[in-house]
Structure 1
Amino acid sequence: MARRALGRAWSLYISSPAAECSISGSTGCQSVRYSTAVEAKGLTQLKAFLREDSGKKISKTIRKGGRVPGVVFSLPQEQELLVSFAAKDIETQLLRLGRTGWGCHIFDVAVMNGDGKKMTHYPAVGRQVHITADTDVVENVTLIHCPPDRHVKVAVPIQIFGEEVCPGLKAGGRINHISRKVRVLARGDSIPESFELNVSALNVGDKLHFSDLVIPENVKLLEDVAAPALKIMRK
């Protein structure tokens, strides 16, 4: 059942603008990783095991064992951390967060050693998910190491509210979602989960623009503030 739902919600290849990760500061990724569970408190944890090699044959073996191959990229040095996640954990997060939500969510990637007794914690934002179209199997995932003081470009989903009292919708109109997400630059500890737009006072023909969004102080909007985000259209 979970896989059927996953197939409806996701396309074959999912790419977040987090892939365009922009780094500020000169601190090396490995030197600023989380080292204790206390520092990672409050983040959604994804437990992972290190894997030594990559390749189709190895990845196939990993998937047969109920796990998903993954890579955590540590920019700007482009260092890679090869890991694997439990398939059920990845599917749970994809279903919970949705397509855009994966690409702006910070996870605590808890990498366990061979005996599973010790963890090293890496805060990381979702980047890409590869899903097989005919079977809905998650082939692999990638994330970007994102410490709290690092700035990244992400696309944050727009949530709409006020539809039940919207005059334009009551008159038979519909919402034209010109954009369903907002590109922003934010620190790793300040990435918004979503932005809200209130349509409760809109009539047919009215628009809401990116300037109508409430942007937190530590977040920089990368959209044209004069551009419309949605419009109430006639059916």
Structure 2
Amino acid sequence: MAKEIDDLHAQERTGTGKGAARHARRDGMVPGIVFGGEQDPLPINIPFNELFKRLKAGRFKSTLFNLKVDGHEDVRVICRDVQRDVVKDLPIHVDLMRLRRATRINLFIHVNVEGEEVSPGLKRGGVLNLVRPEVELVVTAGDIPDHITIDVSKLNIHDSVTISDVTLPAGAKPTIDRDFVIATLTAPSSLRSAGEDEEDEAAADEVPTTAGEEGAEKQE
């Protein structure tokens, strides 16, 4: 169940320093550096459009990439820093760290749902609310799960699924220590409206009589 890792394409950057970085930016590239592991740091340039698209997608710093640089072996990397222009807020430099297969990292893992077709709560018209479509887990870089699965086959209305109900892949654990909700099964709007009407009727029955009404009762 290993997760397919997205490729991140880059070019080796010739020259270092501010001059080379400015030249890269003029050419529509974002300069960066790849460090870590047992290799020397590698200066790179990443196409601005590709990097900007991935930044807009979100969670760039918690996503694992397969870095492809011509003339070098592919390597798994994770972002450690993105420097931005203080005025335009656009990326001007990126730091990537090489990962060994045994390295432990935090990643957001997709949540799959099974058992919806037999859930008694859903059959009654309940609504499944996926509170966390992704869950942040500590995993090893060499064995990243593609997803985790929650089972809602026995859920009734007002039931929920928490992280303690989920069988996690071997070696993975949540980044949050406490138990937390992943999904809830809420009542359909029709049942909620009926319940609200009943509460209103009960409240009306409990309205205390006024002083005038009490007097009338005594005279009778």
Verify same fold: TM over 0.5.
Answer: yes
When the two structures are superposed, what TM-score results if normalisation uses the length of structure 1? Answer: 0.56
Contact 1:124–1:145 (8 Å) recurs in 2: yes
Shift of 1:190: 0.7
- Structure with bigger RCO (C-alpha 8 Å, 6+ apart): 1
For this pair of structures, how many residues does the alignment match? 182
Alignment of 1:63-78 (within 5 A): 63-74=25-36
* Displacement of 1:74: 0.8
SS in 2 for 1:83: strand
The counterpart of 1:48, out of the listed 3, 8, 11, is 11
- From the two aligned structures, give the one with the greater helix fraction: 2
Q: Take 2:59 and 2:146, find their aligned partners in 1: how far apart are those partners?
A: 10
- Structure 1 residues 203 and 59 mapped into 2: Cα distance closer, same or farther (>3 Å)? farther
Return the offset for 1:180. 3.7
What letter is aligned with 2:64?
Answer: H
How far apart are residue 131 of structure 1 and its match?
A: 6.3
Task: Give yes or no for contact 1:74–1:145 (8 Å, CA) kept in 2.
Answer: yes
Residue pair 1:67, 1:86 contacting (<8 A) in 2 also: yes
Q: Where does residue 177 of structure 2 map in the other structure?
A: 224
Q: 1:170 to 1:53 in 2, by over 3 A?
A: farther
**Partner Cα distance (1:170, 1:129) in 2:** 49
| Cα contact 1:124–1:147 (8 A) shared by 2 | no
Note if 1:197 corresponds to 2:154.
Answer: no
Task: Give deviations 1:19-58, integer Å, cap 9, x for gaps.
Answer: xxxxxxxxxxxxxxxxxxxxxxx87352321354344x65
Residue 202 of structure 2: aligned partner: none
**Which 4+ runs in 1 deviate beyond 6 A?**
131-136
Counterpart of 2:47 (choices 73, 86, 101) is 86
Q: From the CA coordinates, give the structure whose radius of gyration is larger.
A: 2
CA RMSD of aligned residues (A): 4.1
Q: Please state if 1:145 is matched with 2:98.
A: yes
* TM-score of the aligned structures, taking structure 2 as reference length: 0.59
**Quick one: which of 109, 112, 115 aligns to 1:157?**
109
Q: Structure 2: which 5+ runs fail to align?
A: 190-220
- Identical counterparts, % of pairs: 16
Deviations 1:75-118 (A, max 9, x none): 6x9974331112344355557xx4247623231x2334xxxxx3
Structure 2 counterpart of 1:143, which letter? L
Is structure 2 residue 119 aligned with structure 1 residue 119?
no
In the alignment, the residues of structure 2 paired with residue 157 and residue 54 of structure 1 have an alpha-carbon distance, to the nearest angstrom, of 37
Deviations 1:149-193 (A, max 9, x none): x3222122333435975645974646262684222131x211224
The answer for unaligned runs of 5 or more in structure 1 is 1-41, 113-117
Q: Does residue 185 in structure 1 map to residue 146 in structure 2?
A: no
Distance in 2 (CA, whole Å) between partners of 1:85 and 1:153 is: 23
